[in-house]
Amino acid sequence: LLWQAALGCRAAQVLMQYCILANHYWFLVEAVYLYKLLIGAVFSEKNYYRLYLYLGWGTPVVFVVPWMAAKYLKENAEGGGAGLGVPHAVFSPPHQINLLIFMRILKVILAKLRANQKGYADYKLRLAKATLTLIPLFGIHEVVFIFATDEQTTGILRYVKVFFTLFLNSFQGFLVAVLYCFANKEVKSEMKKKWQLWKLDH
């Protein structure tokens, strides 16, 4: 029973590390995809979707599998030592990349809003709204505490960091779904059609 419990714990740890890395790489995929839509083609139309899938789901495997093997060998050699550090802390894509793409996209949005300033008198409000909606999509909230490591944060700052990190990471998918799916006019229109068809059938 002990070895089964230990195996289950290791499997859960590996799965958790994979999910964290996949989450970070999908931030990057979302940023690159939106950048492509607004500014121009990053990949050819023929193969960009497959590349996104490889980057989002495949790249974490490239890092997690060797980490898992190295951790296993190190723990066996040291008789169940502390093992290696977590891979997401080392192999996550730099959040600065997302931040740079984020700034470029905001620059394009600002230019487009200024060009249509007559039609949109409240362009500053629209820019603020675009900024706030892009933050959860790109994972920009991660940048807030990038320089405040666990070792450097103590007292109230540590609790604030943990709260915001856990809250934003836990609800990031929900925020993206609400902002980009359920608040989308086309999605709401399709949902309304499906609801009306369902009512007619029943």
d(CA 153, CA 144): 13
pLDDT tens for 122-138 read 666 766 777 777 777 77
Q: What is the mean pLDDT of residues 60-69?
A: 87
Q: Which residue carries 């933050």 as its tokens?
A: 135
Domain ranges, ordered by start, for the chain: 1-82, 87-171
d(CA 61, CA 54): 10
Q: What is the CA radius of gyration of the chain?
A: 22
pLDDT band at 57 (very low <50, low <70, confident <90, very high): very high
pLDDT band at 103 (very low <50, low <70, confident <90, very high): confident
In this prediction the pTM is: 0.67
99 close to 31: Cβ distance less than 8 angstroms: no
* Mean pLDDT across the chain: 76
Q: What is the mean pLDDT of residues 103-129?
A: 72
pLDDT tens for 143-200 read 666 666 666 677 887 788 778 777 877 777 787 777 777 777 887 888 888 888 988 8
Q: Which residues contact 116 (CB under 8 A, 6 or more apart)?
A: 123
d(CA 57, CA 51): 10
Residues of the chain above pLDDT 90, percent: 1
